[in-house]
Structure 1
Amino acid sequence: MIKNNMDKLIVIVGPTASGKSDLAVEIALRLRSGQATSAGSGQAQKPAGEIISADSRQVYRGMDIGTGKITKKEMRGIPHYLLDVVSPKTDFNVTKFKKLARKKIEEIISRNHLPIIAGGTGFWIDSLIYNWPIPEIKADKELRARLEKQTIEKLFNKLNKLDPERAKDVQAKNKRRLIRAIEIAIATKGNAPKFDLLAYYNKTKTQIFEINDKKLKIIIIGIKPSITELEQKIYKRLISRLNQDMIKEVKNLHSNGVSWKRLDDFGLEYRWISRYLRGKISKDEMVENLYRNIRKYARRQMTWFKRNRNIKWFNKPPKAEDYLKRLLNI
């Protein structure tokens, strides 16, 4: 039985540059303000909010500007988790994310606080909140080395033969994810646990996240600006990041031992800037490719999220904020 804010799990999703992180902080601040007010009035204390990041690149240390990682100043005193978890030379996957995120949720609710998940990595978010059965397959370095030499098209065809169902949902242009999917398909002989996305999304009208003996009602909020507005935000943010020494950040990562290949595998900012630094493309080509590929990435994110009918969409963060304030009575 869902009783109050402490029995909810708030999830904020949307494409890159849509304003997810700022919205999560605003809601957490309002919860903290409400907690102080209720304590002073002698009323039952309201829960404070704590934020768990769900971004597959923000887990890496030193990858700050390129990933749009929230700064200490922008956090405004609100606790944030699953940022700067590992070195970019270390592999980090959905299985590790799910394990760490569940632990953080457990800790947050033990303090009678409200967990807020914010991020744009849809597969990670869904694997967590719907508890998808992700196989724990260790990395096979020899296999990965062989697969790295193949083209994206050959990798996709290989996965399609090994596991046609997984091929339907994998990011077909993401070499790193294709290789991981093939690795799992080979290890499980094509019998990796399957999950029907629509079945999970539409299982019940009220979706519940279970952890230990707790049941939390899942509330998913989506931010979806118009295409024109989103593209403007993406371009403005791109130029701002370049002015904030994003190129220097990539250069420093390489100087600290992150290989060019590894940087290329991270995609987007790290791929195109590393190619520019190696003299493979001009600065204008770097900016042009970045802008085009970030827009494509935003479309892929929306393709994933649109399948979930339980997401309540808003075209602007303030509208989503007003809705959550009413929902949480803050």
Structure 2
Amino acid sequence: MGGVVIAIVGPTASGKSDLAVKIARASGGEVISADSRQVYTGLDIGSGKIMQREMRGVPHHMLNIASPAHTYTVAQYQKRARRVLERLLREGKTAVICGGTGQYVDAILRDISFPEVKPDRELRAGLEKVSTPKLFSRLKKLDPARARTIDRHNRRRLVRALEIALHIGASPKQGGKKYMYPTFFIGINPPQKILHKKIYDRLLKRIRGGMLAEVHRLHEQGLSWRRLEQLGLEYRYAARHLQGKLSKQGMIDQLYSEIKKYAKRQMTWFKRNEDIHWVFEQG
């Protein structure tokens, strides 16, 4: 394999996509998205999916590959993304992995296997009635190793981890520090004040750009309010607003607060990786 792997990581709204396109254009490479919501068709504005004109002719992979009506697992993502990555390397191209979902970045690059447990609708329906702290507490008892690495605030991942633990006992031990492919990591980490302004400005831009209409359209096309809430952040709070549970300003305020928390969790994940070369963008 003669290609090169570069991974662009960092918190939401930090400018990863722009940098990935610049590097890919300069090197004749292609971009592999590592975002857990951008795999879904129709989740465009709310997920911040890169637009065609923003790609500037650079091929992008792992976007719009699954229906939002069904959960696309990290195991499915890993299998497909690695096929793309290995093809690019065989062709001698630069593969630019870009995304803020740390688990997806690790799924492509590290020696990790994911159990292919099929979704259990009946079990999930029961777990949806349990509070997030109780889900995490239950996971700690069933699978302490997974509980140490999971985002304890992410209900979707907690439910999935419990689903796996209840079916096979516990997640298999991973050789997670070993890289499958030599990778150069670049992390973008703007100063907090600048990042928070970017998050707020981007949120308002998405709302002006039709985010609420997008969520309404997804619901009209058959996605339940519950499923939209499961898709997290923008989709969760837009769905609550459209159901009359939140005012528009209440939606904005809660989203801004939750996205800042999410950015902090992303940095906690990425800072475990000592191989990342951090750059501090000033805006």
Q: TM-score, normalised by structure 2?
A: 0.96
SS state of the match for residue 271, structure 1? helix
- Counterpart position of 2:111: 131
Q: 2:14 aligns with which of 12, 15, 18?
A: 18
Amino acid at match of 1:243: R
State the shift of 1:28 in Å.
1.2
Q: In 1, distance between residues paired with 2:237 and 2:122?
A: 27
Cα deviation, residue 87, structure 1? 1.2
Residue 170 (structure 1) shift: 1.3
Partner of 2:182: helix, strand, or coil? strand
The alignment partner of 2:5 has SS state of strand
Q: Deviation of residue 196 (structure 1)? A: 6.9
Contact 1:12 1:116 in 2 (8 A): yes
Q: Give the distance between the partners of 1:306 and 1:273, measured in 2 at CA.
A: 31
Distance 2:248 2:16 in 1: 30
Distance 1:65 1:92 in 2: 19
Distance 1:153 1:307 in 2: 24
Give the aligned partner of residue 184 of structure 1: 164
Give the C-alpha shift of residue 109 in structure 1: 2.1
Q: Is the 8 A contact 1:170 1:178 kept in 2?
A: yes
On the 8 A contact 1:265/1:271 being kept in 2, the answer is yes
Is 1:259 aligned to 2:255, yes or no?
Answer: no
Alignment identity in percent? 49
What do residues 265-311 of structure 1 show as CA deviations (whole Å, max 9, x unaligned)? 11110010100000001111000001000000000000000011000
Residue 227 of structure 1 corresponds to which residue in structure 2? 192
Taking the aligned partners of 1:127 and 1:175, their CA distance within structure 2 comes to 20
Query: Aligned residue for 1:326?
Result: none
Normalising by structure 1, report the TM-score.
0.83
CA deviation vs aligned residue, 1:210-250 (integer Å, no higher than 9, x gap): xxxxxx42111100000001001001111111110111000
Deviations 1:39-90 (A, max 9, x none): xxxxxxxxx2000000000001111010110000000110000000111102
Who is 2:250 aligned against? Answer: 285
Residue aligning to 2:201: 236
Larger radius of gyration: 1
Which amino acid in 2 is paired with 1:11? A
Given that 2:5 and 2:94 are in contact with CA atoms closer than 8 Å, whether structure 1 keeps it comes out as yes
Work out the CA distance in 2 between the residues paired with 1:284 and 1:240.
Answer: 14
The alignment partner of 1:59 has SS state of: coil
- Give the SS at the match of 2:118: coil
Instruction: Give the drift of 1:317.
Output: 8.4
**Which residue pairs with 1:34 in the alignment?**
none
Following the alignment from structure 1 to structure 2, what is the Cα–Cα distance between the partners of residues 291 and 59? 23
Structure 2 residue aligned with 1:160, among 140, 143, 146?
A: 140
Which runs of 4 or more aligned residues in structure 1 lie more than 6 Å from their structure 2 counterparts after TM superposition? none
Partner Cα distance (1:165, 1:245) in 2:
41
Distance in 2, Cα, partners of 1:64 & 1:222: 24
Give the letter for the 2:233 counterpart.
Answer: L
137-146 or 295-304, larger mean C-alpha shift: 137-146
Contact (CA 8 Å) 1:12, 1:20: kept in 2 or not? yes
Deviates more, 1:180-189 or 1:269-278: 180-189
Structure 1 unaligned residues grouped into runs of 5+: 32-47, 210-215, 319-330
- The 2-side partners of 1:71 and 1:316 are apart by 22
Moved more, 284-293 or 122-131: 122-131
CA distance in 1, matches of 2:110, 2:118: 23
**SS of residue paired to 1:222:** strand
Gap regions ≥5 residues in structure 2: none
The residue identity in structure 2 corresponding to 1:71 is: M
